[in-house]
Copies of this chain bind each other. A is one copy, B any other.
């Protein structure tokens, strides 16, 4: 089974972290291909970055689709363009926020999200609502670490992340932690040891969920609003993105 894990930002270093986490998590019969676009924002930290990064992400789904990939992971906690990617794809497509929140709801009766920047909290909040997790999500915390700051300075980031996780566990009664940034993937094991509760990295779980769905013979519904995009000719620079007949 071949799974493409897409980091929608252009940071090669973050793609490496994501790819490592995905490879560690994948079962032996899955092959992980971690990719990122060479065009767009180097980090996704607000709605605008997210909107722009969605287009090259979709191009990568198109590429994967052309290469017969079996499933996709969108490795950015805002799950940008998830339904658009599902229209393009034949196999399952899972966002890391989606995967992590669903997993958390199966392991604890309440979870908290610990993410990078304050201004991305509202994105997490909207996803909580969209995935029906309002009753399961106890709190959402930001550590005020820029996404790429995670790469530069794990020491200071670590302290702040641990502090917020403890607050979630001890004050809000969270039974599990959802890490709110793909760049935190390599902290998962250490945080689990520190906190004694499940700490969930969406990349790992999303890879496993794609395997689970595909392994159970399931694929994205091609009936209704997730059917392949209606063929049409786009104009201008985006002409290359025109959805063809399938």
What is the interface of chain A, defined by CB distance below 8 A to chain B? 10, 25, 27-29, 37-43, 45-52, 54-56, 58, 81, 83-84, 86-88, 92, 94, 98, 102-103, 105-110, 118-123, 125-126, 129-136, 169, 173-176, 189, 192, 196-198, 200-201, 204-205, 207-209, 211-213, 215-227, 229-230, 232-239, 241, 243
Contacts and interface: CB of A to CB of B under 8 A. Distances in A.
A137 to B, nearest CB: 10
A102 to B, nearest CB: 5
- Find the residue from A46, A196, A216 having the highest chain B CB count within 10 A: A216
Nearest to A129: B135
Contacts of A239: 39
A20 to B, nearest CB: 14
Given A29-B27, A83-B47, A107-B213, A219 B235 contact: no
Given A10-B234, A107-B226, A132-B134, 4 more contacts: A27-B27, A46-B84, A196-B223, A200-B218
Given A47-B83, A81-B51, A109 B224 contact: yes
A200 to B, nearest CB: 7
A49 B109 contact: no
Contacts of A41: 232, 234, 238
Contact of A173 (B46, B121, B201, B204): B121
